[in-house]
Amino acid sequence: MQGSRIGDDDGVELRGQLLIASPSLWDPNFRRAVVLVGHHDDEGALGVVLNRASEVSVREAAPPFAALVGDDGVVFVGGPVQPQAAVVIADFNDPSQADLSAFGSIGFLPGEADPETVAGVRRARLFAGYAGWGPGQLEAEVEEGSWFLEPARPDDVFTVEPGALWSNVLRRKGPAYELVSLMPADPSLN
């Protein structure tokens, strides 16, 4: 089974898409990952892994963000690039307040957010680190079948079941992906 193809058009936009790791992707940073692409152009791409909740509370790790993400919020592992950096994805009342817009009202909180911007946030999630690709790298990975593509939805970003996101998004893609969605994390244990 192959991933969705980008095609020959170099201007294809991946921003706002979910990258769903195919079973052939064994990189431990991305095994069974679902990544929201927040930026994509001819210089590269960046995004965050949506389905890797940590055991660490935001209140414990980054107290200034606790009120923004909620009292029971946990830090998510956003990717292997700059794992000590805090990245916040938010659902904005006014999407123009986002530093980087991913899709619809979903975007990245500005690094130096003012109280007015934070007041316009409906919900937010904190990620440690992010995923990044150099020029042409992500396009090549999609073409070789490492990633399946699916348009992102707000509920994907803020899912209450991050551990089930990989299977759920694959099932949403249709019957051709049903069997893949049921695969165990380690097929050798099957």
What are the backbone angles phi and psi of residue 27, rounded to the nearest 5°? Answer: -55, 120
Which of the four pLDDT bands, split at 50, 70 and 90, describes residue 60? Answer: very high
Burial profile 29-41: b = 16 or more Cβ within 10 angstroms, e = fewer: ebebbbbbbbbbe
For residue 4, pLDDT over 50 is answered with: no
Kindly state whether residue 98 falls inside one of the protein's structural domains: yes
Residue 148 CA to residue 134 CA, distance in Å, equals 19
9: in domain? no
In whole angstroms, how far apart are CA 16 and each of 2, 26, 48, 100, 170?
20, 24, 11, 11, 17
* Owning domain of residue 142: 17-182
What pLDDT sits at residue 176?
86
Prediction pTM value? 0.89
Rounded to an integer, what distance in angstroms lies between the CA atom of residue 182 and that of residue 158? 22
Measure the CA–CA gap between 3 and 21, rounded to whole angstroms.
9
For residue 88, what is the domain's CATH number?
3.40.1740.10
User: In this predicted model, what pLDDT tens digit does every residue of 139-167 receive, in sequence order?
Assistant: 999 999 999 999 999 999 999 999 999 99
The answer to whether residue 90 is domain-embedded is yes
Distance CA 99, CA 110 (A): 5
* Domain count of the fold of the chain: 1
3 state DSSP class of 171: helix
In a domain, 80, yes or no: yes
